[in-house]
Amino acid sequence: MSRNSRTVLIAGGGITGLTAGLALARAGFRVDLFEQAEGFETIGAGLQLSPNALAVLDGLGLLHRIKTVAVGPTAIRVMSATSGREIVRIPLGHHAVERYGRPYLVIHRADLQQVLASACADDPDVTLHMAASVDDVAAHANGVTALVNQGSQMTEFSGIGLVAADGVWSRLRNVHFDARPSVYSGLAAWRALIAAERLPGSQDMESVQLWLAPNAHAVSYPVRHGQHLNVVVVLAALQAPQGWTDRGEVGELRQALAGWSPAFAGLLDHKARWTRWPLHAAPRLRRWSEGPTALAGDAAHAMLPFAAQGAAMGIEDAAVIARCLKAAHENGGDASAAFAAYEGERRRRAARAGRLALANRYLYHLPRPLDLARNLAMQAIGGRRLLARQDWLYGWKPAP
């Protein structure tokens, strides 16, 4: 293959874009990846890496590196936020490995991004262009040409295709796929990292804890070798402008959580920087691919975080894109055919994950007395059967 015939362009250096860059390089392509930030952020929040996501990352040879910065929780403990009592315990740890072949891990987003970025930097077939944003892309007989803004100059890059992994506020989605803006959910996530050394010895640093309350919920789990507790509280909030985030006042959050058990509300007494993030979902699109251009990750199907699958779906997208492009190239096809095949394979599964997130949104935030009925039902089902209900999700593996 000539250089131009195997070059793929990627817009966006987030989890999806970096994973796609590695997957494509492993499949025999050259990659030019453009990230508009000057450097990869060290701030952010935690995320959960379920076995389906780890199946891709393991295939890229990254599982060992990820394990050095991640934590493997023993269970998901579903808790009553008002009483502080455990409702049900969903086993993870060795049980997840036995069931799905990979562990269930929790990690700080910046740590995962750093593992991926380092692997890309080490791969001679991946070129990272920082402080570079793809402003436009044009298709032609040989593939695509992207107009890239690199500070004070505009540069053209060519390749056989372009993957737009530029997030929930994707510019390329809005320009080339006639999409409406992302939709605000009416919810905001309050996020903080609390140093483990500030926490009492009774604090659970072995599990993911899901705290359910009427019209709200929270999640807490350890990250960074258990040195910090990642805490997220999701509450109703007024409309927020695009990209809005701010430093939240803990007093406001404490007032919103009046009536919550001290087992969780006590976390607000520890010094931490709280930020509020509006939760948005991508509009439903008629298509994810247009000729040699395709959307991936949040640009294609941003979903609410109630199934902890936003990053995982983007990681899966990356693996399928690489496989479809390789198959098309080996069989005389082009990027347009490959991206059409990718979209056909991924739409139904991503939509199902999105529906699960929406269902969980209402399940987690049920008002009284429906929340009591939910708790009794979860207890009756039991943790092992609740996990088994996710087999279709966690048991996914990339095709060879």
Percentage with pLDDT > 90 across the chain: 84
Q: What are phi and psi of 190, to 5 degrees?
A: -90, 125
Q: Of 221, 342, 364, 394, which is the active-site residue?
A: 221
Top pLDDT among 177 and 334 is at 334
**Confidence category of residue 240, pLDDT binned at 50, 70, 90:** low
Top pLDDT among 246 and 242 is at 246
Question: What's the confidence (pLDDT) of residue 183?
Answer: 83
Mean pLDDT of the chain: 93
Question: What's the confidence (pLDDT) of residue 202?
Answer: 87
What is the pTM for the complete model shown?
Answer: 0.95
- Please state the rounded mean pLDDT for residues 246-274: 91
Per-residue model confidence as pLDDT tens digits over 352-362: 999 999 999 99
Residue 43 has pLDDT above 70, yes or no: no
Question: What's the confidence (pLDDT) of residue 146?
Answer: 97
Among 242-256, 300-314, 360-374, which is the least confidently predicted range? 242-256
Is 221 among the residues known to form the active site?
yes
What whole-number distance in Å separates Cα of residue 155 and Cα of residue 129? Answer: 12
Question: What's the confidence (pLDDT) of residue 211?
Answer: 98
Question: What's the confidence (pLDDT) of residue 245?
Answer: 63
- Full set of structural domains in the chain with CATH: 4-182+282-394 (3.50.50.60)
**Confidence category of residue 289, pLDDT binned at 50, 70, 90:** very high
Residue 375 has pLDDT above 90, yes or no: yes
Question: What's the confidence (pLDDT) of residue 175?
Answer: 85
- Please state the rounded mean pLDDT for residues 282-294: 92
What whole-number distance in Å separates Cα of residue 27 and Cα of residue 25? Answer: 5
Top pLDDT among 200 and 163 is at 163
Residue 4 has pLDDT above 80, yes or no: no
Question: What's the confidence (pLDDT) of residue 1?
Answer: 39
Residue 369 has pLDDT above 60, yes or no: yes
Per-residue model confidence as pLDDT tens digits over 341-353: 999 999 999 999 9
Residue 309 has pLDDT above 50, yes or no: yes
Which one-letter amino acid corresponds to residue 151?
A: G
Per-residue model confidence as pLDDT tens digits over 103-161: 999 999 999 999 999 999 999 999 999 999 999 999 999 999 999 999 889 999 999 99
Residue 246 has pLDDT above 80, yes or no: no
Question: What's the confidence (pLDDT) of residue 2?
Answer: 47
Question: What's the confidence (pLDDT) of residue 152?
Answer: 82
Percentage with pLDDT > 70 across the chain: 96
Question: What's the confidence (pLDDT) of residue 241?
Answer: 52
**Confidence category of residue 29, pLDDT binned at 50, 70, 90:** very high
